[in-house]
């Protein structure tokens, strides 16, 4: 009797467990992504891509300067080559005159080398050297040294150019990778959720901005681009990155800015946050990798990211680093 009762209890317990399992809600194989988590991940990817793009912009500016230096050095080297050849010809003429009246074989033995250092070594051992004017020899030695210095400088600058070009390619690859990853993350969201996520923090364009002077032209241009696309490295007319927008906006006021947020940070006097005026440039993150234009009432217009484009946002929507007043 006792064993029968135990078997009955075991059977009933098993039935109860089966019933409980049967009524438990099934867990989906893959839960729907949390929109806040996706927002953070996409924002991080966009920011990492923008950091790489700004480094790319900085490298382009450096490459431009390096190439200018290289062009100048090469021009100097051409001039130095000509000066060196002129002195070399004078030295050779002087040597030939020393051997006038001697056999052609003797003259042929003193034809100078094309290499400056080799020629100096030859010249120092020639029997005719004592008869050459010391001033001419000194001039030749000076020109040869100057030419060598320019050749070394040119080679170093050319190596710098090549290294900077490699850095450009590296940063461009990072931009492309981060953007592709962000697009993949966004692709996992439904259209409605994606639109909701991308619209967060976007403010309506104000109808009146109290700007004056050259700043008014810059602000007017920047606000007219609201709704345009964000494209890394772009500076208009229909797409911009952050520094491309501010550069083109201030160009309308006759103020030239570099296409780089960190470089723009050094383009004018620094302004305290409490003294911001419409047209001032506002910078974000550390190191600086984003810039917008202040338009008053605690708002900026900026090229935000590829998902949002050019929009109006709060001045405190990102980690604030400082502000500059161009012009």
List pLDDT tens digits, range 119-151: 666 655 554 555 555 666 676 677 777 777 877
Q: Is residue 255 part of a domain?
A: yes
Name the active-site residue from 15, 47, 242, 259.
Answer: 242
Is 290 in the active site? yes
DSSP H helices, 99-133, are: 104-108, 116-125
pLDDT in tens, 53-62: 888 888 888 8
Are 243 and 259 in contact, with CB atoms under 8 Å apart? yes
Domain count, the chain: 2
Assess whether 159 and 120 both reside in one domain.
yes
Average pLDDT of the chain, as a whole number: 76
DSSP state of 270: B
Assess whether 169 and 212 both reside in one domain.
no
Is 302 in the active site? yes
What integer is the mean pLDDT of 201-222?
81
Rounded to 10 degrees, the C-alpha dihedral 241/247/252/255 comes to 180
Type and span of the H or E element at 310: strand 310-314
Assess whether 117 and 221 both reside in one domain.
no
Residues 6+ positions from 51 with CB-CB distance below 8 Å: 285, 287, 289
Type and span of the H or E element at 167: helix 134-187
User: Among 35-44, 148-157, 173-182, 229-238, where is mean pLDDT lowest?
Assistant: 35-44
**Which one has a higher pLDDT value, 294 or 189?**
294
Quick one: how far is CA 113 from the chain centroid?
A: 46
Assess whether 289 and 212 both reside in one domain.
yes
Torsions phi, psi of 3, nearest 5?
A: -65, -35
Residue 68 has a pLDDT of 80
DSSP state of 289: -
User: Among 22-31, 111-120, 174-183, 283-292, where is mean pLDDT lowest?
Assistant: 22-31
Is the sign of the CA dihedral 310, 314, 320, 324 positive or negative?
positive
What integer is the mean pLDDT of 143-169?
79
pLDDT band at 14 (very low <50, low <70, confident <90, very high): very low
What integer is the mean pLDDT of 281-301?
95
CB burial of residue 304 (10 Å; 0-12, 13-18, 19+): buried
Assess whether 168 and 236 both reside in one domain.
no
Is 15 in the active site? no
Using a pLDDT cut of 90, give the percent of the chain over it: 32
Residues 72, 66: Cα–Cα separation, whole Å? 10
Q: Is residue 4 pLDDT above 70, yes or no?
A: no
Residue 37 has a pLDDT of 74
Name the active-site residue from 15, 259, 270, 302.
Answer: 302
Assess whether 78 and 176 both reside in one domain.
yes
Whole-model pTM above 0.85?
no
Assess whether 42 and 181 both reside in one domain.
yes
Question: Closest by alpha carbon to 107, among 119, 95, 116, 115?
Answer: 95
Domain termination site, one of 121, 153, 187: 187
Type and span of the H or E element at 240: strand 239-240
Q: Is residue 14 part of a domain?
A: no
Residues 6+ positions from 119 with CB-CB distance below 8 Å: 88, 91, 112, 113, 144
pLDDT band at 253 (very low <50, low <70, confident <90, very high): very high
pLDDT in tens, 174-202: 878 887 887 777 676 666 565 665 556 56
Q: Tell me which residue range forms the domain holding 269.
A: 203-324
Give the CATH number, domain containing residue 260.
3.90.1720.10
């Amino acid at each position: 009797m006792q064993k029968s009762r135990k078997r009955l209890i075991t059977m009933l317990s098993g039935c109860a467990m089966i019933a409980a399992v049967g009524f438990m809600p099934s867990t989906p194989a893959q839960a729907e992504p949390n929109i806040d988590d996706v927002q953070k991940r996409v924002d991080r990817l966009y920011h990492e891509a923008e950091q790489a793009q700004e480094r790319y912009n900085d490298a382009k500016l450096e490459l431009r300067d390096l190439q200018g230096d290289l062009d100048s050095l090469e021009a100097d080297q051409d001039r130095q080559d000509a000066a060196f050849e002129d002195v070399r010809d004078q030295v050779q003429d002087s040597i030939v005159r020393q051997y006038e009246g001697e056999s052609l074989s003797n003259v042929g033995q003193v034809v100078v080398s094309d290499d400056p250092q080799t020629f100096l070594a030859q010249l120092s051992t020639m029997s005719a050297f004592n008869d050459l004017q010391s001033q001419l020899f000194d001039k030749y030695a000076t020109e040869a040294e100057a030419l060598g210095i320019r050749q070394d400088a040119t080679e170093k600058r050319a190596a710098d150019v090549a290294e900077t070009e490699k850095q450009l390619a590296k940063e461009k690859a990072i931009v492309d990778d981060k953007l592709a990853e962000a697009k993949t993350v966004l692709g996992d969201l439904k259209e409605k959720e994606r639109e909701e996520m991308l619209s967060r923090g976007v403010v309506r364009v104000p109808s009146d901005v109290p700007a004056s002077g050259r700043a008014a032209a810059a602000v007017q241009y920047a606000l007219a681009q609201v709704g345009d696309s964000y494209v890394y490295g772009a500076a208009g007319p229909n797409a911009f990155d952050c520094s491309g927008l501010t550069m083109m906006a201030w160009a309308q006021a006759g103020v030239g800015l570099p296409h780089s947020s960190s470089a723009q940070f050094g383009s004018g006097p620094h302004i305290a946050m409490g003294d911001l005026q419409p047209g001032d440039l506002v910078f974000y993150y550390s190191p600086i990798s984003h810039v917008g234009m202040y338009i008053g009432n605690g708002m900026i217009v900026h090229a935000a990211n590829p998902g949002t484009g050019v929009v109006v946002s709060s001045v405190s929507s990102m980690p604030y680093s400082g502000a500059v007043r161009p012009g």
